[in-house]
Amino acid sequence: MDLINEAHVSEPGLVVVDVAAADDATALAFQQLLAGRWATATAERTMWDAGQPGVRLRCYLDLRQPVGPDARADVLPQVLAEAQQ
């Protein structure tokens, strides 16, 4: 996978998630679970690295923007508090 761009983690609450899974369906299902809870820049397809098992996927989350019905409103204060420790 490519190196992580500093802009993607420039503030507390921004997260880059690299997923390794056995198959496309598993990686995309995991990404969909994340996207159902937080603002997420999703990947449309997985990548396969020659000589490596399974598939890879990268998505970007913004924990400051909960979007799903199960999203917790207290996520950002918690993230900020942990970042300051």
In a domain, 51, yes or no: yes
In a domain, 15, yes or no: yes
Q: Are 57 and 23 in contact (CB under 8 A)?
A: no
The DSSP-derived string for the chain is -PPPPGGGGSSTTEEEEEEEESSHHHHHHHHHHHHTTEEEE--SS-B--TTSSSEEEEEEEEEEEE-STT--TTHHHHHHHHHH-
Both tokens assigned to 7: 């802009």
In a domain, 66, yes or no: yes
pTM of this prediction exceeds 0.75 = no
In a domain, 50, yes or no: yes
- Write out the residue range of the structural domain in which residue 61 sits: 6-84
How confident is the prediction along the chain (85 residues), in pLDDT tens digits per residue?
A: 576 666 656 688 888 889 999 999 999 999 998 888 888 888 888 998 888 889 999 988 888 887 766 555 555 555 555 555 5
Predicted local confidence at residue 27, as pLDDT? 93
Both tokens assigned to 12: 């507390």
**Domain total for the chain?**
1
In a domain, 35, yes or no: yes
In a domain, 1, yes or no: no
